[in-house]
Structure 1
Amino acid sequence: MRQASVDDYGQIAALQVRNGFTIISYEDWMAFWRENPVYKQDRQCPIGWVLETESGEIVGYIGNIPLAYRFAGRELRAAAACSWVVDACYRGCGFGMRLMNRLMRQKDIDVFVFTTMNSVSEPLARSLGFSKVPVGTWNKKAFWITNCRGFSQSALKKKSVPFATVAGYPVGAALFCWNSLRDGMPVSSTSEIELCTDFDSRFDDFWEDLKYQNDNVLLADRTRETLQWHFRSALSRRRASILAVSKGSRLDAYAIFDRQDNHALGLRRVRFVDFQALNGSEDALRPALCWMLRKCREEGVHSLEVTGCWLDRPGLPQIQAP
């Protein structure tokens, strides 16, 4: 086992492909590490560890993303595990846990985070003392169907139903009727909604207010620089939609959506990935959501999805996906 390097991209990508992972481009890989605001402050921070055979082949990897959090007036250092993968022939020898144990032995880390759990890794994480965050139901999804025929065809294709394209017409019609009965989100707001192409200086001012108002809440850093890094790939590919909700020149809330199509199923999908609001501006969620639902319908997007059902968190308007 040794510390991973950005130069290991080729072998790590090959390892991920062998094990069914989705890979990112070399350009995105380099930017993901080198533009990370925390990593830029500490270039000695490991980007992860690899398992390497005597012949130099990488057969295991765990990524280590340095992140900043804040709680009770303190700046916290966090480490998020990512892309934990070991070739099948090495899994029974405990090599996977050796990688995880190495990540957990890091010094000067206040919080360890898993953001991409699945049915395989969750029992292992629990055995290491990890617990679920108290907000959201992260093994579930909520969604609005914005194109009934397209959505039904993708759903039937996923179920391997024969002639999914043809069958999608009657199923889509039934979905449309059902959706029409349940749809409806009354909106009354004096806020202005602006579609932004980037994160400007208002987002730094917003972050200062947000962390002051939520001093007793564990918050992931949301400075302008961090948001720009986190959504770099989506912004560069014009997949991200940033909605700024303001009154006058002050940013009161924002919503971020990411276009994440499933090409294998022919599913055109937008995911609602973040919403933050200052105290008293939580109702901005409704007009922001309605704005994106309207855009999805106009552009033929099949569904708007919320992974983890995090819209149910306390303090937000109670909005139920149909």
Structure 2
Amino acid sequence: MTISVRPIDETDHAAVNALHRFVGWPERSEAGWSWLEANPARLERGAPAGWLLETEDGEPAGFAGNFVQRFHHEDEVLYGATGFSIIVTPKARGGSRKLITAFTNQPGLFAHYTFNANAVSAPLYKRYGMVPWPSETHALKLSWRIDALACAEGRVWREIDRRVPRLTEARQERLLNPRLHEPDALTLPHGVSVLTDLEDDSRFAGFWAALKAEGRIVADRSPAALRWRLADPDLTLRPLLLSYSCDARVRGYAMAMMSKGNPIEPPMLEIIDLIALEGEPQAVPTLMQALLMNARSMGAAKLRIQMVSPDLLRRLGPLADSARREGGWGHCHVKFGPNAPGAAVWSPTPFDADYGICLRPVPLAAVERWAA
């Protein structure tokens, strides 16, 4: 069977959702796909929003998303892209080659990468010039258990689903709790506050300017970029943004969002971003303490960070030692462009990846029904 690949357009949203539904991954609303396609960095590059595999009869048989981000390195603006939601149906077996090739052949990017490959797909990327990276931590995820009972129940349901899947075919939402709503109040350590001011002249804008000036490769965290991120119409709970300040200046910040991977998984508080200025040893551990202190009151069974760089591991210090090691396969792969700045100056966080756009939001309608 002949399989072709082409860039997606706005008429393909229903087909892309059907492919996500086929593999049990979260779908987006029409407004959600339109928001994602309006990504300012993608428009600046003129890059596809993704690619669709089609059979010779025009039947959609696969998809790969293309999330482009703006990066800064010293005085230079760079662009990188992460491939997300790579799906291939049995009719297009082997079609992942066309999708990944289309993704890695994009010109003008300093890096093509995925930091969210699953255990089955991870071996594929090496065939297309993508290598496990960072070399020390490409297979590492960290999690902190918050509600041991909910975590245990989740393991039981996963085992039931593995052995007798018909018992979970109804996909009834399980492991909900009444704390899953916007928190009324948080318990925060000294120096940490909820970040709400994302205006272009805010204290956070000063932090962003200082972060850029350090000379690292950093994904765009300008107030405008975060405002766009937070405008995702498919979010059910606003991500939690925390800042760490010293001497009236923001020195670090964290972003975390509640998710529920599927109907039989417990809710998780996922760390999307955790970054601080160099020379601020207290910022990252203090922000982590704030997340640990509030995860249970937000309804989370775990606090998790799914992409860890060596720099972040160092900054976490003893808190990393107290975490459970998850993962175990190379979920992080990268292909650097020709003449790209050295990998040593890029220390990514999950913000650089697709977690912020691919995690399944907490289904609030199910929470409300459960509570009633």
Counterpart code for 1:290: Q
Alignment CA distance shift 1:104-1:157 (3 Å): closer
Q: How does 1:250-289 map to 2 (within 5 A)?
A: 250-262=249-261, 264-265=263-264, 267-289=266-288
Aligned to 2:212: 211
> 2:141 touches 2:304 (CA, 8 Å); kept in 1?
yes
Aligned to 1:41: 44
How far, CA to CA, are the matches of 1:211 and 1:100 in structure 2? Answer: 31
Aligned to 1:9: 13
Aligned to 2:174: none
Deviation at 1:268, TM superposition (A): 2.6
Deviation at 1:244, TM superposition (A): 1.1
Counterpart code for 2:112: F
Normalised by the length of structure 1, the TM-score is 0.78
Alignment CA distance shift 1:225-1:115 (3 Å): farther
Write out per-residue CA displacement over residues 205-235 of structure 1, whole angstroms, 9 at most, x where no aligned residue.
Answer: 212111211x1x3322222222233344399
Q: Which moved more, 1:240-249 or 1:229-238?
A: 229-238
> 1:259 touches 1:269 (CA, 8 Å); kept in 2?
yes
| SS of equivalent to 1:80 | strand
> 1:243 touches 1:256 (CA, 8 Å); kept in 2?
yes
Aligned to 2:357: none
Q: How does 1:1-322 map to 2 (within 5 A)?
A: 1-34=5-38, 36-42=39-45, 44-92=46-94, 95-134=95-134, 137-160=137-160, 192-197=191-196, 199-200=198-199, 201-213=202-214, 215=215, 217-233=216-232, 236-262=235-261, 264-265=263-264, 267-310=266-309, 313=312, 315-318=314-317, 319=319, 320-322=321-323
How far, CA to CA, are the matches of 2:233 and 2:290 in structure 1? Answer: 19
Deviation at 1:283, TM superposition (A): 0.9
Deviation at 1:72, TM superposition (A): 4.7
Alignment CA distance shift 1:137-1:55 (3 Å): same
Deviation at 1:126, TM superposition (A): 0.8
Identity of aligned residues (%): 24
Write out per-residue CA displacement over residues 13-47 of structure 1, whole angstroms, 9 at most, x where no aligned residue.
Answer: 1122223332222211111121x1213434x3221
Normalised by the length of structure 2, the TM-score is 0.69
Deviation at 1:281, TM superposition (A): 2.0
> 1:154 touches 1:265 (CA, 8 Å); kept in 2?
yes
> 1:255 touches 1:276 (CA, 8 Å); kept in 2?
yes
Counterpart code for 2:191: E
Write out per-residue CA displacement over residues 105-150 of structure 1, whole angstroms, 9 at most, x where no aligned residue.
Answer: 3232232122321233322211111122227634443222222333
Q: Which runs of 5+ in 1 are unaligned?
A: 163-188
> 1:195 touches 1:244 (CA, 8 Å); kept in 2?
yes
- What is the RMSD of the two structures over their aligned residues, measured on CA atoms? 2.8
How far, CA to CA, are the matches of 1:15 and 1:7 in structure 2? Answer: 14
Tell me which of the two structures has the higher relative contact order, counting C-alpha pairs closer than 8 angstroms and 6 or more residues apart: 2
Counterpart code for 2:14: G
> 2:103 touches 2:112 (CA, 8 Å); kept in 1?
no
How far, CA to CA, are the matches of 1:310 and 1:106 in structure 2? Answer: 25
Counterpart code for 2:206: D
Aligned to 1:172: none
How far, CA to CA, are the matches of 1:264 and 1:152 in structure 2? Answer: 15
Alignment size in residue pairs: 289
How far, CA to CA, are the matches of 1:150 and 1:65 in structure 2? Answer: 33
Alignment CA distance shift 1:31-1:234 (3 Å): closer
Larger radius of gyration: 1
Alignment CA distance shift 1:231-1:76 (3 Å): same
Q: Which runs of 5+ in 2 are unaligned?
A: 164-188, 324-372
Deviation at 1:254, TM superposition (A): 0.6
Counterpart code for 1:109: L
> 1:282 touches 1:317 (CA, 8 Å); kept in 2?
no
